[in-house]
Amino acid sequence: MSVILVVDDERLQRDIIKTILDEEGYETYTAPSGEEALKTAKKYNPDVILADLKMGGMDGIELLESVQKYFATSTMIIVTAHGTISSAVEAMKKGAFDYLTKPLSKDSLLMTVRRAVERTELLKENLHLQKELYDRFRIEGIIGNSGKMQEAVKIMKKVSDSSATVLIRGESGTGKELAARAIHYNSSRRSKPFTALNCASIPENLFESELFGYEPGSFTGATSRKIGMIELTNNGTLFLDEIGDLPLLMQAKILRVLQDKEIRRLGGKYPIKVDVRIITATNKDIEKELAKGNFREDLYYRLRVVVIELPMLRDRKNDIPGLVQFFLNRYNLEFGKRIKGVDSAAIKALVDYDWPGNIRQLESVIERAVILCDTDTIALRDIKSELRLSERSGSFDFDLPEGGINFEELEKDILKKSMLRANGVMAKAAKLLGMSYKTFWYRWEKLNSDHPDSRDEALDQEDSN
């Protein structure tokens, strides 16, 4: 039930309004002055406060100011005597939701109160969502006790409150975007936008208009003004993912944003001041692009003021059980399941696996297992096929060529590749293919009998990669 507080120094007025609102099913309280109103508000945290503008002591405007300060989710309606509209307008400017003039009509009273209640509900919902967002991306919520992860978390905490540019490095699925969000939601920019842009997914000719926007007429087809992402993110954080794929021309423009803190819309006459924090990420060797001249050195140094390295999951296997539990909780909640845990054989398989897709892959394995599992414990059978499947498709995905294939060559190729993946450890290579050691050895020997050196050759190749 919505709570309404009626503030008026005239008793009769208070009582009439209270009666109307009570009848409508609201929980209504009254107060004879602004001072009393604040006390009552503290006790009942009203959704809507309906206050007379002119009262002895604290008047409606002063009350409004206090309410805004201390009761963030209360909505205020001001009641004025006929002829004092200008002060009502002033109250609206200061943040009152609406005003009513005396004598009150029952209909407009009820309608305005109803709309005010709706606004409060929206406010509460927004606050709730915002809190959920903060909770979800708390730095403390990042799972990882391993040394390398702790190191990364320490840096995240340290840099959050500065506006320093941060470069996050890590293989695919190691949590780069999560880290960027955690930094944002831990910074004083948290209530401002966080915008993520994947540089690899934008066609080169659209980059500028996406990031910087344009003025009408700046090119054929630009019929109206478009505000670019950087402007929309003003005072917030811009996350540029796969920064290594940023075209050279755009690199120069981003550099300018960092140096001069301004942008220019395409076709725009004047620069526009912006304040955005830039966080970038890459899973590539950006230094290689630097050496090849594909990445500007000056920008590179600007971006890597702080570098955060996210470890691969296979290098922090101790964290796997904790992550599994974390995702289990998440997907239990999402799918309304009550799976208690994962049995020891399954945990062992999860820890043994080498996770080429890192945490993202682990998350999807657990998500799938939660969906499929029909007991209260996830067992090996719920995850087995997934692990083997992804292990294979990672390196052996291929289309059957038009002209068919030479099966022996293909087999040789597969064996060789798995040997490479397994760093020449035959038992491991066999496991990768789901074969016994004996079968693998037999095939390997047979196929390589005319090339006695091919195993070494395979390993040489790996070294030069």
Q: Residue count of the chain, please give it.
A: 465
171 binds Mg ion (CB under 5 A): no
321-340: which residues touch ligand ATP (CB under 6 A)?
326
Report, in Å, the least distance between residue 311 CB and ligand ATP.
10
CB of 279 to ligand ATP, least distance (A): 11
Instruction: State how far the Cα of 25 lies from the Cα of 28, in Å rounded to an integer.
Output: 9
Q: Of 81-89, 338-346, 357-365, 447-455, which segment contacts ligand ATP by CB under 6 A?
A: 357-365
Min separation Cβ 134 and ligand ATP, Å:
15
Q: Residue 247 and residue 203: Cα distance in Å, rounded?
A: 10
Is residue 176 a contact point for ligand ATP (CB under 6 A)?
A: yes
Q: Give the nearest distance from C-beta 235 to ligand ATP in angstroms.
A: 23
- Number of helices followed by number of strands (H, E) in the chain: 20, 16
Instruction: Give the shortest CB-395-to-Mg ion separation in angstroms.
Output: 22
Our finding on whether 175 is near ligand ATP (CB under 6 A) is yes
Stretch that binds ligand ATP, among 17-25, 138-146, 405-413, 437-445 (CB under 6 A): 138-146
Task: Please identify the residue of the shown chain whose CB is closest to the bound ligand ATP.
Answer: 175
Residues 276, 279, 284, 288: is their CA dihedral positive or negative? positive
Nearer to ligand ATP, 361 or 418 (CB): 361
* Residue whose token pair is 């959920």: 132
Q: Which one among 172, 195, 325, 454 touches ligand ATP, defined by CB under 6 A?
A: 172
Instruction: Tell whether residue 244 is a contact of ligand ATP (CB under 6 A).
Output: no
Contact segment (CB under 6 A) with ligand ATP among 42-50, 183-191, 355-363, 405-413 equals: 355-363
177 binds Mg ion (CB under 5 A): yes
Amino acid at 285: D
Where do runs of H (alpha helix) occur along 336-372? 344-352, 358-372
Footprint (CB under 6 A) of ligand ATP, residues 274-313: 283
Segment (H or E) for 252: helix 248-260
| Smallest separation, CB 289 to ligand ATP (Å) | 17
Task: Give the nearest distance from C-beta 252 to Mg ion in angstroms.
Answer: 25
Query: CA neighbours within 13 Å on the CB side: how many for 338?
Result: 0
Q: Closer to ligand ATP at the Cβ: 335 or 442?
A: 335
Binders in 140-159 for ligand ATP, by CB under 6 A: 142-144
Task: Give the one entry of ligand ATP, Mg ion, none that residue 2 binds, where binding means its C-beta sits below a cut-off of 5 to 8 angstroms depending on kind.
Answer: none
Check residue 391 for interaction with ligand ATP (CB under 6 A): no
What one-character-per-residue DSSP string does 403-424 give? T---HHHHHHHHHHHHHHHTTT
Give yes or no for residue 178 binding ligand ATP (CB under 6 A).
yes
213 binds ligand ATP (CB under 6 A): no
Strands 213-214 and 226-227: antiparallel
Residues 6+ apart with CB under 8 A from 244: 199, 282, 284, 286, 289, 294, 295
Q: Cα separation of 80 and 60, whole Å? A: 9
**Residue count, binding to ligand ATP (CB under 6 A):** 16
Q: What is the residue type of 392? A: R
Beta carbon nearer to ligand ATP, 177 or 391: 177
Angular region, 166: left φ>0, alpha ψ -120 to 50, beta rest: beta
Distance, in Å, from the CA atom of 48 to the CA atom of 2, rounded to the nearest integer, reads 8
Closest-approach residue to Mg ion (CB): 177
Gap between the Cα atoms of 225 and 304, Å rounded: 33
Nearer to ligand ATP, 170 or 244 (CB): 170
Query: 3-state class of 101 per DSSP?
Result: strand
- DSSP single-letter state for residue 104: P
- Put residue 111 in one of left, alpha, beta given phi > 0 → left and psi -120 to 50 → alpha: alpha
Q: Which two tokens stand for residue 42?
A: 């503290």
- Identify which range of 111-119, 175-183, 386-394, 417-425 contacts ligand ATP by CB under 6 A: 175-183
Q: Mark the segment that binds Mg ion (CB under 5 A) among 5-13, 171-179, 307-315, 333-341.
A: 171-179
Residue 80 CA, distance from chain mean position? 45
Instruction: Please say which residue, 279 or 433, places its beta carbon nearer to Mg ion.
Output: 279
- Is 363 near ligand ATP (CB under 6 A)? yes
Cα 97 to Cα 122: distance, rounded to the nearest angstrom? 13
**Residue 245 makes contact with Mg ion by CB under 5 A:** no
Site for ligand ATP (CB under 6 A): which residue of 202, 257, 346, 359? 359
Which of 182, 288, 185, 289 has its CA nearest to residue 246?
A: 289
Q: Is 96 in the site for ligand ATP (CB under 6 A)?
A: no
Which residues contribute to the site for Mg ion (CB under 5 A)? 177
